[in-house]
Chain A
Amino acid sequence: MSDQASDERIEKARRGDARAFEALLAEHAERVYAHVARILGAGPEAEDVVQDACISAWRSIASFEGTSFRAWLFRIATNRAIDVVRARRRRGDLPLEPDESEEETWAEPVAGGPQLEDLAADREAMRQVEAALARLPAEQRTVVVLRDVEGFDYEEIARITATELGTVKSRIHRGRLAVRNALVTQGWKGASG
C-alpha cells in the first residue's frame, strides 16, 4: 500500500468513512497484534487488546493530526497493553519493575560455544531469545521490540510510550544487554570483534 493511498484513506476515515478506516486497520492489525503479543503473550487477551485499540482509534480518528497512522495505532495499542501489565502487577501476577539505576553487567562468554552471529538459523537459539525477551520487564521489552522488531526511532518510541528520550535509550540498551547475557549464559560465545 502506497503512502498516498494510505493518506487518502486516513483523510476519508477522518471524514467518517468506516470502510476506509477498516482498510487502514487491516494494513496494520497483524503487526500490532504481534507487538502486543510480545508484551502480553499471544492469546485471546492480546487479541482483545488489539480490537479495543482499533475501536478506540476509530472513536478518536477525527482528532488524529500526526504524520504516522502506524505510530499512532501502536501508541494506542501499547498503552492498552501496558495497562493490562499494570493490572496484572497489581494482582500480583507479575514482579515489580527492577530498579533501572542498577549498574549494567556484561556476562562473560564461555569459550567454545557457537558465536552469536551464527544463531539466527538456530531454532533453539530463537527459543532462548524469545524466553529472554519474555523475562524482561514489560516496559523494557516494549521499547526493545518497538526498536528492533518494528524499527521505530527513539523519538517515535518516546512518543508511543509517553516516556523521556533518555529513559527510552536506557531501556533499549538494558533490554538488549539482558537478552545478550541470557544467550551468553546458555553457552553461546560472544563475537570476537
Chain B
Amino acid sequence: MEHVRHDLSAYLDGALAPARRSEVDAHLGSCAACRASFAELRATVRLIAASPAAVPSRRLVPALAPRANWLRPLRSFSAVAAGMFVLAFMASATLDTGFRMGGGRAGTASLATGGGAAQPASAPRPESAGVPGAAGSPGPQLTETQRSSAAFQVSPTPKAAGEAAADAALPRTDQGVAGAAGPQRAIDAPDPLRLGPSPWFWLALAALCAVLALLTHRRLRAH
C-alpha cells in the first residue's frame, strides 16, 4: 500500500486536485500510520499559527503626506502662553491676598485712631456688644473680609474713618429697628483696588492653553 504522507499538507490546505483528494481520503480511512501523520501535521500547523508575532519598536508608516506647518508654532505659542497665564495667576492671587490682608490691617489701624466716632467698629463684635437695635432681631453679620473691605474704603483720614465706621454700624441699627435682612451697602460696594479679573480667570486661561499645547504636541507626535 502506497502511503500518502507527501500530499498531506496540500490535503490539509484543500490544495489537491479533486481526484487526488479522493484517493487520499480513501487511504486515510484505511491507514492508521498516515492518519497519525496527518493529525501531527495538523497540530504542527496550529502551533505555527499560534506563534507570537514580533511588535515593531517604532512607527513603520513613513510620513508621505505634507505636514501641517502651522502646528509647530501653535504648540510653542500655546505652551508659552500657558506659562505666562500661570505667572499672571500667581501674581494676581498674591496681590489679591496681600491686598486683603494689608487692607484689613489698615482698616483696623485707621479705625483705632478714629477717636470717639470710630468706637462702634473697633469695639467688640456687635452681637456681643449689645447694640440696642440688634437686641430684638439678629442683624446680618459681617465676615472678617467684608468688615475689612468696608473699613478700607474710608481709611484716608480719621474723620472719614469714623464716618465709615458709623456707616458700617448703621445697617445693623436700621435693620434692628426695621427688623429686615436687606443687603448691606458695604458688601455690595465693588472692590476698587482688585487687579484685573479674578485670579481663577488666569488659571482657566493657563489650563486652556496647556490643553491646546498638549493636543498639538500629540498631533505632531502622531505624524
Chain B residues near A (Cβ < 8 Å): 5-6, 8-10, 13, 15, 32, 35-58, 60-66
Partner of B48 from A129, A173, A190, A191 at Cβ < 8 Å = A129
Known: A50-B60, A104-B5, A126-B47. A193 touches B54 (CB 8 A): no
Q: A47-B57, A193-B32 are in contact. List 5 more A-B contacts (CB 8 A).
A: A18-B65, A54-B61, A126-B47, A129-B47, A149-B48
Q: Is A97 an interface residue (CB 8 A)?
A: no
Is the CB–CB distance between A169 and B47 below 8 Å?
no
Is the CB–CB distance between A192 and B61 below 8 Å?
no
Partner of B44 from A47, A50, A176 at Cβ < 8 Å = A176
Is the CB–CB distance between A179 and B47 below 8 Å?
yes
Instruction: Pick 23 A–B contacts, CB within 8 A, sort by A.
Output: A22-B64, A29-B56, A30-B60, A33-B54, A33-B55, A34-B53, A46-B56, A106-B37, A116-B39, A117-B43, A119-B47, A120-B46, A120-B47, A126-B47, A129-B50, A133-B51, A173-B6, A173-B8, A190-B40, A192-B36, A193-B32, A193-B36, A193-B39
Measured between alpha carbons, how far is A173 from B6 in the docked complex, in Å?
Answer: 8
Measured between alpha carbons, how far is A127 from B159 in the docked complex, in Å?
Answer: 94
Measured between alpha carbons, how far is A51 from B63 in the docked complex, in Å?
Answer: 10
Is the CB–CB distance between A125 and B49 below 8 Å?
no
Q: Is A147 an interface residue (CB 8 A)?
A: yes
Mostly, the A contact residues are: helix
Chain B's closest residue to A191 (CB) is: B39
Chain A residues near B (Cβ < 8 Å): 18-19, 21-22, 25-26, 29-34, 37-38, 42, 44, 46-47, 50-51, 54-55, 58, 104, 106, 109, 115-117, 119-120, 125-126, 129-130, 133, 144-145, 147-149, 153-154, 169, 172-173, 176-177, 179-180, 183-184, 190-193
Chain A nearest CB from B46 CB (Å) reads: 6
Is the CB–CB distance between B57 and A176 below 8 Å?
no
Is the CB–CB distance between A58 and B64 below 8 Å?
yes
* Chain B residues within an 8 Å CB radius of A191: 36, 39-40, 42-43
Known: A29-B60, A176-B9, A183-B47. A153 touches B15 (CB 8 A): yes
Chain A nearest CB from B18 CB (Å) reads: 15
Is the CB–CB distance between A38 and B54 below 8 Å?
yes
Chain B nearest CB from A9 CB (Å) reads: 13
* Chain B residues within an 8 Å CB radius of A177: 9, 41
* Chain B residues within an 8 Å CB radius of A31: 53
Chain B nearest CB from A3 CB (Å) reads: 20
Known: A34-B53, A117-B43, A126-B52. A21 touches B64 (CB 8 A): yes
Measured between alpha carbons, how far is A183 from B48 in the docked complex, in Å?
Answer: 11
Known: A148-B48, A176-B48, A193-B39. A169 touches B9 (CB 8 A): yes
* Chain A residues within an 8 Å CB radius of B47: 116, 119-120, 125-126, 129, 179, 183
Measured between alpha carbons, how far is A96 from B50 in the docked complex, in Å?
Answer: 28
Partner of A154 from B13, B44, B53 at Cβ < 8 Å = B13
* Chain A residues within an 8 Å CB radius of B6: 104, 173
Known: A33-B54, A169-B10, A172-B9. A51 touches B48 (CB 8 A): no
Is the CB–CB distance between B51 and A149 below 8 Å?
yes
Chain B nearest CB from A49 CB (Å) reads: 10
Is the CB–CB distance between A33 and B56 below 8 Å?
yes
